[in-house]
Structure 1
Amino acid sequence: MDAVSVVTHLRNLASQPQNRASIVKDKSCLAGLILFLSHQDTQVVEAALQTIHYLCDNPNHCEVIKSELGMMVSLQNIRNSALSNHVKLLAHRIYVTLSMPSHQHTPEAKNKQNSLQFFLPSANKKARIITLHIHGLDNMERKSLCEEALLKVKGVISFTFQIAKRRCTVRVKPDLATECITSAIANTKVLKAQQVIKNECGKEVYVPMPTMNNQVEKSHCLPDYLPEEESPQKDLEKALTRPVSKEETRGNWLKATVGFLSKTFYW
């Protein structure tokens, strides 16, 4: 077994909720994932990040993962690396999730977060919310492309996606024009955004937005927090990975993976 096959199978196992506790409890798996985060093969790094992202889905796992020696440092290194934005965004999301105080991982806190849709400091209470319908937002690659575009727009505070509906809800500073956001999305060349509003009858309608000729002002730092734990597309993301259907197969793969990690690395 090579690193790519091992981390890919570990990711497939982690995509199934019933396997996550076993993976988190096994020190060889967590230590192996940390080593994979510094692997020279980008495919290995990305698969390791996806695995950790699955494991972080359970708040009870976050403290264990965070306390594993080298985890936070490795994530920070990826955020500051020359890897693709799409990989750095994933590392950023995991880093922020693990950095959250433990009380913010409770069901009560998550319900409060879900009802508010966004985590915002008090200074942003006057922020505007813009709902966009994005043509072409039909897979995770396009979602990452849209994220990259939005992160570059100065004045964007946070955003969430509903891929099934091709929707993106963006919270922005009051002085940021909607056209700035739609223009940034249009610059991807494969996505096009229309604003979603309600007419006098209360029915949703799509409003085409003009494209700005002047360059959109870019932000050079990532937002502090882009929560998506409660996003409707979470199940869709899980569905992208081929599930392992049989209990025996799951158990065998987990044992094989742990065995490979234990024999390959010295802890």
Structure 2
Amino acid sequence: MMDALSVVTQLRDLASEPQNREVIVQDQGCLPGLVLFLDHKNPEVLLATLQTLRYLSEMSPNIPIMKNELGMMVSLETLMERKGLSVDLTSLAREVYDILITPITARPTTHDRERGKKPQFFINSSNKKAKSVTLHIQGLDGSEQRSLCEEALLKVKGVISFTFQMASKRCTVRIRADLSTESLATAIAATKTLSAQQVVKNEEGDEVLMSLNVSEAEVQQNTALPDYLPEDEDSPEKDLSRAVSRTTAKDDSSGTWLNAAASFLTKTFYW
């Protein structure tokens, strides 16, 4: 069963892939739903929503559509002024707001980006590289086990984002370069019902499962909300199955995950 956090988290993961950004903004349900999420009480939902909007704003043609979306600018202004929010949230809301109101001509050019002047993507981002690993998760048989796995991964310091392929019991996890894959296996094993192996390619190019050592030591955990990194063009793994056109909700072959998310947003917020 979908809830606000799982929907916006997966929408953020989809938005992290450049090829998905136009599709998400053009969808009739997702952008209005994100605006409504800007009024959510859960700071994790707010963070994931703002990160999603920040990803979407990386594509210049999306900016006027986002700016003109009913309630977008007002909601961002409200967030910037809301009492009791963390500095991270208010700063990210201001960053998205500033991008949407800045004329296109004032934005960094492609030449600037090529010269290494790419603007800071998320607050608290760093220059450390990120990497992607694909895990085969034994026991990943349904939504309950998936929720367990999500909770375990969210607690690991250094996890940036993750996307599930439920039919193949796989999870593609983007992590900081200095985080060991064994840390992920240890966190997943701590659920007592799941275990993880890494999916790698052998010399012949065939996929094989590699066992991971599970440590008895406690994995370093996030004490606050995750510190998300900017996208890396040279991430060693690009999992094309994350594209919107090929991402389904669980084993639902009748439509894309994006359709499922949009349906959830519509049923939840429009009455």
TM-score for both structures, normalised by structure 2: 0.51
- Opposite residue 66 of structure 2, the aligned amino acid is I
Distance, in Å, in 2 between the alignment partners of 1:64 and 1:70 is 12
> Structure 2: how far apart are the matches of 1:8 and 1:262?
17
The Cα of 1:249 is off from its aligned counterpart by 2.0
Supply the distance in 2 between the matched residues of 1:17 and 1:116 (Cα, whole angstroms): 19
Q: Secondary structure at the match of 2:10?
A: helix
Matches within 5 A, 1:85-100: 85-100=87-102
The answer as to whether partners of 1:15 and 1:238 remain within 8 angstroms in 2 is: no
| CA distances 1:19-71 after superposition (whole Å, capped 9, x unpaired) | 11111001311110011011011111111001101101111111111110111
Alignment deviations for residues 207-253 of structure 1 (CA, whole Å, 9 cap, x no partner): xxxxxxxxxxxxxxxxxxxxxxxxxx7324997xx967355325621
AA aligned to 1:93 is E
* SS of structure 2 residue aligned to 1:162: coil
2:247 corresponds to which letter in structure 1? Answer: T
Deviations 1:112-171 (A, max 9, x none): 58769599xxxxxxxxxxxxxxxxxxxx8xx62xx9xxxxxxxxxxxxx5345xxxxxxx
Q: Are the equivalent residues in 2 in contact too, given 1:63–1:98 (CA < 8 A)? A: yes
CA distance in 1, matches of 2:75, 2:94: 11
| Contact 2:76/2:94 (<8 A) preserved | yes
1:38-77 aligned within 5 A: 38-77=39-78
Distance 1:237 1:265, change over 3 A: farther
Answer yes or no: is the 8 Å Cα contact 1:104–1:110 preserved in 2: no
1:49-198 aligned within 5 A: 49-81=50-82, 82-105=84-107, 109-112=109-112, 117=117, 144=124, 162-164=127-129
Out of 252, 260, 263, the residue aligned to residue 259 of structure 1 is 263
> Are the counterparts in 2 of residues 53 and 94 from structure 1 also a CA contact under 8 Å?
yes
Are 1:75 and 1:95, in contact at CA under 8 Å, matched by a contact in 2?
yes
Name the CA distance, whole Å, in 2 between partners of 1:17 and 1:8. Answer: 16
Q: Which amino acid aligns with 1:234?
A: P
Give a deviation string over 1:170-217, Cα, whole Å, max 9, x none. Answer: xxxxxxxxxxxxxxxxxxxxxxxxxxxxxxxxxxxxxxxxxxxxxxxx
Letter in 2 for 1:102: I
Gaps of at least 5 residues in structure 2 are: 130-228, 249-254
Q: Aligned residue pairs: how many?
A: 159
Confirm or deny: 8 A CA contact 1:13 1:244 kept in the other structure.
no
Change (3 A) 1:99 1:162: same
Corresponding position of 1:13: 14
Alpha-carbon distance between aligned partners in 2 of 1:83 and 1:38, rounded to the nearest angstrom: 12
What RMSD in Å do the two structures reach over aligned CA positions? 3.3
d(CA) in 1 for partners of 2:233 and 2:35? 22
- Does the CA contact (< 8 Å) of 1:12 and 1:243 recur in 2? no
2:111 partner amino acid: N
TM-score between both structures, scaled by the size of structure 1: 0.51
Secondary structure of 2:85 counterpart = coil
The CA distance in 1 between the partners of 2:117 and 2:24, in whole Å, is 30
**Which ranges in structure 1 are unaligned for 5 or more consecutive residues?**
120-139, 148-160, 165-232
Quote the Cα distance in structure 2 between the aligned partners of 1:263 and 1:27.
13
Between the aligned partners of 2:99 and 2:88, the Cα distance in structure 1 is 17
Kindly indicate whether residue 246 of structure 2 is the aligned counterpart of residue 248 of structure 1: yes
Q: Does structure 1 conserve the Cα–Cα contact (< 8 Å) formed by 2:112 and 2:118?
A: no
